[in-house]
Structure 1
Amino acid sequence: MPSRKDPDASANVPSFYGAELRYKREAAGLTLEQLAEGSFRGVPFLSQIERGERRMPLDLARHVDERLQTDGFFQRRCEDARRAKQSGHAEYFADVAEMEQYAESIEDWAPMLVPGLLQTAPYARALIRAAMPRATDDDVEVKVSARVERAVLFEAENPPAFWAILDESVIRRRVLPPRGMAELLTHIAQVVRATRSILQIVPETTAAHPFMMGMTRVMTFTDAPPVVYTESLHSGQLIDFPALVKQYRESYDLLRAVALPPEASLAMIDAAAEDYRNGDQQHRLELGMLAQK
């Protein structure tokens, strides 16, 4: 039997407390299953915390301190782990941003907005500014940088296999002026082709399909069970319950079936980008004619 790989406690704050959790759990003679009892959290969730891949939420920290009799140790430290991992992302997305770096595959469904891994800085800035109209420019730029920099995972030695399904309305919604939309769509097509990712579009003529309820992501890992992430306006939820994850994955497979083929989808992206470019040129021509009057 191969030896167990212990987490590198020096890697970051979550890894340190993950290693500490494993040490104290084993010192107490408890298995992961026994520690999870009564916590409303699954064994895969606890396992990922021990490996430093997830932060420990406060409700679980209270449970762990009680079961392991650690005198509030994890409750006092879970806020440190949260700050260490947030790094410009919304708190509810911090775990997802950390986990996607270790994913074997990432499958996004985007019914309203371009997925973060495919966004340009102007597009991200427009979305963040619309959602946070009172934020300072500095705060907005921190969030823009955090979002755009996530795409660095495509440059890893073994990047995740990326699959994105977009509703057609995503590429028709004019979040930016025509030139910015053209640049966004050109960027999407370039990333998809360069990374050998797969992109599909669900046409607006599709009457009904799975996942009509909101943004969803499925992530798989080489050494951990798959998880699902769902998001609404100001909140997000990570799901690791195996039966529920299976249902989400089956729905995603059905969504692939109603979407356009990858080649047709990229052709639609290219055509939409060209339409925006032509629209921008026409707009500039009309402004020039008005200036001459």
Structure 2
Amino acid sequence: MPVRRVVTGRSQEPRRRYAEELRRLRTTRGLSLRALADAVGWDPSLLMKLERGETLGSPEVAEALDLYYGMPGLLLAMWEMAVGDLTQFKEQYRRYMRLEAEAVNLWHFGVSTVHGLLQTDDYAREVLTLGGINGKELEQQVEARAGRRQLLEGSGAPPFRSILAEAALSARLPDMRVRREQLEYLLEVSERPNITLQVLPQTTWLHGLVSTDVMFLRMADGTTVAYTENAHRGELIEKKASVEQLQRAYDAMRDQALIPAESRKFILRMLEEVPCEPST
């Protein structure tokens, strides 16, 4: 019987475990990165970054390696675990993200940015960069947000309502292409049966969530928790009375939002105003 490898703290981390396994599979077969790249049809520099844990690549890469190594589905499953790995996030967000993944119903209000579940990769990169994240951590966070988007995909995806203040849609970005693609993506996902998208115009009355992003999560046991966030901190709120107070503020604000059909028209008008090419 082969000796069982020791499960270390390092190998328990999904992202590192994925990189470790890719490196082990290649080296035990005596392959160079160039030889492997030629065999699977991907660039050797990408494969090197995968083995170093600098990137997770795409599911297509994982599937190609699965096929080559004769391990159908295993590497893809490891890739999915690595993408959803919570250890790359700050401690204050981890409990919220676990609850987000388990929620049976979600509803949200965004003051100045689109929620991470609805962000394109490039939009996420812009937002995270403004928050002071860069380099390797930036790419890890972008990949993780891409993985979180899968929560809203497929036949079993939970219902999600997102109300976005006009300011979240009209904020200028250094690259107008990024803003255009984000608006187009919002229109695309708003057609999914489980996603309801509404816009809160700038002309509405003052409301109780005027400076606070909030996400509500209804769990399978019927309880609801809330996560509030501003420019400086986030807070998970589980006390029933506090959650209900936020829900009343949300309901009052929602009554002022445009209905979904009008919201789509609103976003289309905004999209028409975004230049197709960067200004010179």
TM over 0.5: yes
Residue matched to 2:116: 116
- Equivalent runs, 1:49-64 vs 2, <5 Å: none
Residue matched to 2:206: 208
**Offset of 1:95 from its aligned partner?**
1.5
Residue matched to 1:40: none
What is the alpha-carbon distance in structure 2 between the residues aligned to residue 224 and residue 124 of structure 1? Answer: 31
Residue matched to 1:198: 196
Residue matched to 1:92: 92
Please give the secondary structure, in 1, of the residue aligned with 2:227: strand
Distance 1:281 1:143, change over 3 A: closer
Equivalent AA in structure 2 for residue 148 of structure 1:
A
**Offset of 1:176 from its aligned partner?**
4.3
Aligned length: 199
Aligned counterpart for 1:257 among listed residues 255, 260, 263: 255
What is the alpha-carbon distance in structure 1 between the residues aligned to residue 193 and residue 137 of structure 2? Answer: 31
What is the alpha-carbon distance in structure 2 between the residues aligned to residue 145 and residue 241 of structure 1? Answer: 32
- Equivalent runs, 1:174-253 vs 2, <5 Å: 174-253=172-251
Q: Deviations over 1:125-152 (max 9, x none)?
A: 11111111xx542111001111221010
What root-mean-square deviation, in Å, do the aligned CA atoms of Structure 1 and Structure 2 show?
A: 2.2
Residue matched to 1:274: 272
Q: Deviations over 1:234-293 (max 9, x none)?
A: 4211111111111111111111101111111111112212221xx23483xxx5xxxxxx
**Offset of 1:157 from its aligned partner?**
4.3
Instruction: Identify unmatched segments of 5+ residues in structure 1.
Output: 1-11, 14-83, 288-293
Please give the secondary structure, in 2, of the residue aligned with 1:223: coil
What is the alpha-carbon distance in structure 2 between the residues aligned to residue 102 and residue 282 of structure 1? Answer: 41
CA contact (8 A) 1:117 1:150 kept: yes
Q: Deviations over 1:50-74 (max 9, x none)?
A: xxxxxxxxxxxxxxxxxxxxxxxxx
Equivalent AA in structure 2 for residue 252 of structure 1:
Y
Calculate percent identity across the aligned residue pairs: 28
CA contact (8 A) 2:176 2:278 kept: no
TM-score (norm 1): 0.63
Equivalent AA in structure 2 for residue 182 of structure 1:
R
CA contact (8 A) 1:109 1:165 kept: yes
Instruction: Identify unmatched segments of 5+ residues in structure 2.
Output: 1-11, 14-83
Residue matched to 1:166: 164
Q: Deviations over 1:34-59 (max 9, x none)?
A: xxxxxxxxxxxxxxxxxxxxxxxxxx
